[in-house]
């Protein structure tokens, strides 16, 4: 059986409606993966709303089950969760995974679990339905970097990525096939070499290509994102077959992204600028 992947949101930072974004889409980060009959979701940006509508069509009447992995909890990666319709149905079950963060605040440390973050987003001041009032079965799990999760017949490897307050990358291994997902990462020499090892011989690597090399050098250093130039470098060194360019800047129109893809392919021919709704099997 293949690893099936579909991108429901590929925009970074904030949703971008408008005709100039029609081809690549304006919904923020959400990816659906199906492996050996199991459903996995990465992040709950605004794209998860459409994913939820699709899951209603395939979940059995007696209830469905999915794993939701969070790379991190910046708003563009969590803001769609309250609009994910399957969580409002008591027959459905979700295992939710996220890293616990300890943040210095007001001369003390605050501990934020993934449950804390999602609950705060659905505080009654912001949203009418609180997490604790959702009828579905939600099970929260702490996710740690450099660990391996075994939800079934496949493995999920976790990797710490360089980003403000850090993020996680994932590698899915199943039946001698592999998919690597690394969004929200700022490159450095050390980080690049770590990713070369993490993604070695992968069939596909989805990578944060938010900026052109020129944009990054001019004004985006320290903003937590990367370029297609670095993606190509990793792909060549790690013997990766295909690179998926994701996490599009909200200022980048369809025309701009098409030009970026042309430039990227001069460095590594199997680079694809991913549009919302793109699906494929490995």
Tens-place pLDDT, residues 219-247: 999 999 999 999 999 999 999 999 999 99
Phi, psi values for residue 121, rounded to 5°: -60, -30
Q: Each residue of 210-221: b (16+ CB within 10 Å) or e? A: bbbeebbeeebe
DSSP string, 63-124: --EEEEE-S---GGGTTTGGG-GGGG-TT-EEEEEE--EEEEETTEEEEE-HHHHHHHHT-T
Q: Quote the Cα angle for 180-183-188, to 5°.
A: 95
Backbone angles phi, psi at 95, to 5 degrees: -95, 120
DSSP, res 132 = G
User: What tens digit of pLDDT does each residue of 137-175 get?
Assistant: 999 999 999 889 988 899 999 999 999 999 999 999 999
Quick one: CA dihedral 7, 147, 184, 114, positive or negative? Answer: positive
Task: Give the CA-trace dihedral at 191, 221, 75, 184, to 10 degrees.
Answer: -30
Q: How far apart are the first and last CA of the chain?
A: 9
**Can you count the helices (H) and strands (E) in the chain?**
6, 16
Structure confidence at residue 157 (pLDDT): 97
- CA 48 from chain centre, in angstroms, equals 11
Q: Please report which confidence band the pLDDT of residue 107 belongs to, taking 50, 70 and 90 as the band edges.
A: confident
**Mean predicted confidence (pLDDT) in 58-63:** 90
Q: pLDDT band at residue 61, thresholds of 50, 70 and 90?
A: confident
Task: Specify the DSSP class assigned to residue 36.
Answer: T
Please report the domains of the chain, with CATH numbers, ordered by start residue: 3-281 (3.60.15.10)
The closest of 223, 222, 277 to 251, measured between CA atoms, is: 223
Which distant-in-sequence residues (6+ apart) come within 8 Å of 120 by Cβ?
A: none
Cα angle 87, 93, 99; round to 5: 85
pLDDT of the residue at 105? 79
Continuous segment of H or E residues that includes residue 193: helix 189-198
CA distance 282 to 179: 8
């Amino acid at each position: 059986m293949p690893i099936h992947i579909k991108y429901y949101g590929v925009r970074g930072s904030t949703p971008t409606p408008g005709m100039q974004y029609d081809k690549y889409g304006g919904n923020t980060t959400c990816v659906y993966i199906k492996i050996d009959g199991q459903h996995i979701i990465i992040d709950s940006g605004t794209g998860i709303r459409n994913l939820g509508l699709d899951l209603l069509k395939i979940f059995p009447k007696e209830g469905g089950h999915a794993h939701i992995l969070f790379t991190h909890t910046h708003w563009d990666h969590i803001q769609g969760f309250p609009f994910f319709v399957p969580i409002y149905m008591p027959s459905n079950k979700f295992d939710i995974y996220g890293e616990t963060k300890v943040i210095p605040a007001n001369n003390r440390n605050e501990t934020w679990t993934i449950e804390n973050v999602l609950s705060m987003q659905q505080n009654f001041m912001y949203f009418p339905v609180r997490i604790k009032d959702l009828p579905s079965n939600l099970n929260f799990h702490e996710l740690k970097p450099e660990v391996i999760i075994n939800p079934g017949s496949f493995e999920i490897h976790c990797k710490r990525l360089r980003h403000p307050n850090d993020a996680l990358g994932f590698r899915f291994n199943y039946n001698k096939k592999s998919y690597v997902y690394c969004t929200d990462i700022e490159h450095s020499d050390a980080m690049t070499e770590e990713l070369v090892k993490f993604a070695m011989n992968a069939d596909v690597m989805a990578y944060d290509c938010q900026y052109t090399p020129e944009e990054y050098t001019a004004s985006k250093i320290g903003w937590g994102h990367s370029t297609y130039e670095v993606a190509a470098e990793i792909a060549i060194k790690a013997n990766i077959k295909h690179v998926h360019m994701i996490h599009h800047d909200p200022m980048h129109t369809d025309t701009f992204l098409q030009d970026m893809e042309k430039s990227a392919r001069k460095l590594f021919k199997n680079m694809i600028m991913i549009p919302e709704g793109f699906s494929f099997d490995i």
